[in-house]
Amino acid sequence: MDNNNFVKAYAPATVANVCCGFDVLGFALDAPGDEVWARKTEAPGITISAIHGIAGLSSDAKENVIGVVAQKMLEDLNITHGLELQLHKGMPVGSGLGSSAASSAAAAFAVNALLGSPFTTQELVMYAMEGERKASGSAHADNVAPSLLGGFVLVRDYEPLDVVPLGVPLELYCTILYPQIELKTSLSRSILKQEIPLKKGIRQWGNLAGLMAGLLKKDYNLLSRSLHDEIFEPERSVLIPLFKQVKEAALAAGALGAGISGSGPSIFALSATLEQAQSVKEAMESVYAGSGIETKTYVSQVPDQGVRLVAQSTFQPAVSL
């Protein structure tokens, strides 16, 4: 048992429900993100020995997403030894930035690396989705897939799962403003109408097709013209104080487009340069100044890479133990 060996994986925050790409399109940030440290143990079962960076998360392996993901991987491989896990949260929970997805993706990647990489990336997406099922009751992939794969990722279908990384290196920067209010995903989802007017549907998929073409052809003007959501944003944005003003400020400061990140309350804006993204950040912050609502802001590139190993220690015994 090589229980001196460990790995540590970092998985980034993600923006899902990218405007017209509701439920199908997400992208990765470079930061913030979560880290999962993993080590084999001789005793069976999964122990979460530490959670850093946040208070109030359960360290019961059946309750914490990293335990749920790891347990399923061990079960499917019929592995009888155990795992010790540690979680370093580098991002807020319930912010709309794919917090549970980042933890799940980091856990799936770390455990896979520790076990000698028995799983493909596609399979890791499916294991990380088990964390999402635990966190939200729905095994969605639009946060875990970009967190694992980097860049923009399309979740074309679930039956069977069809995850399509766009695979185009982009020079894009994202500004995030997280207004620190509580907003339950379940509420944000429950206010959506279950029927879409045909005309709005057509405009929405015209924009999504434009967004895809803009990304794949690196036509930022087209991308900007396409970054709209006429269906869900009007319904959901009422739950986010000052949303309309923040979005207008971001666009006025030169953002290519802006929208609700995931189910909110975070608001994202995309820019073509880092300098622009920083101006956009200031413009967005200024709207909340004096509002009485605390905010947290991030500026990050949209990198090609998602999850990655950040530390590893391998002890090679002289003879097989």
Which residues pair with residue 82 across a beta bridge?
A: 41
Give residue 197's identity as a one-letter amino acid code.
Answer: P
User: Contact with a second copy (CB under 8 A): which of 19, 172, 208, 299?
Assistant: 208
- Out of 41, 47, 121, 185, the active site residue is 185
Stretch that binds a second copy, among 68-76, 152-160, 174-182, 289-297 (CB under 8 A): 152-160
Q: Is 97 annotated as a binding residue?
A: yes
185 catalytic residue (yes or no): yes
Burial (CB count <10 Å: 0-12, 13-18, 19+), residue 301: middle
- The reply to whether 81 sits near a second copy by the rule CB under 8 A is no
- The reply to whether 213 sits near a second copy by the rule CB under 8 A is yes
Q: Is 250 annotated as a binding residue?
A: no
Total residues at interface with a second copy (CB under 8 A) = 39
- Out of 132, 175, 233, 295, the active site residue is 132
Q: Is-contact 44 161, C-beta < 8 A?
A: no
- Look at residues 79, 166, 154 and name the one whose alpha carbon lies nearest to residue 119: 79
User: Contact with a second copy (CB under 8 A): which of 54, 161, 196, 251?
Assistant: 196
Residue 14: CB minimum distance to a second copy, A:
17
3-state secondary structure 249-311: HHHHCCCCEEEECCCCCCEEEEECCHHHHHHHHHHHHHHHCCCCCCEEEEEEECCCCCCEEEE
Applying the rule CB under 8 A, the residues between 21 and 40 that interact with a second copy are 21-25
| C-alpha angle 28-99-148 in degrees, rounded to nearest 5 | 40
- The reply to whether 218 sits near a second copy by the rule CB under 8 A is no
Q: Which residues bind a second copy (CB under 8 A)?
A: 20-25, 154-157, 162, 164, 166-167, 192-198, 201-213, 216-217, 222, 225-226
Binding residue positions for ATP:
92-102
Active-site residue list: 132, 185
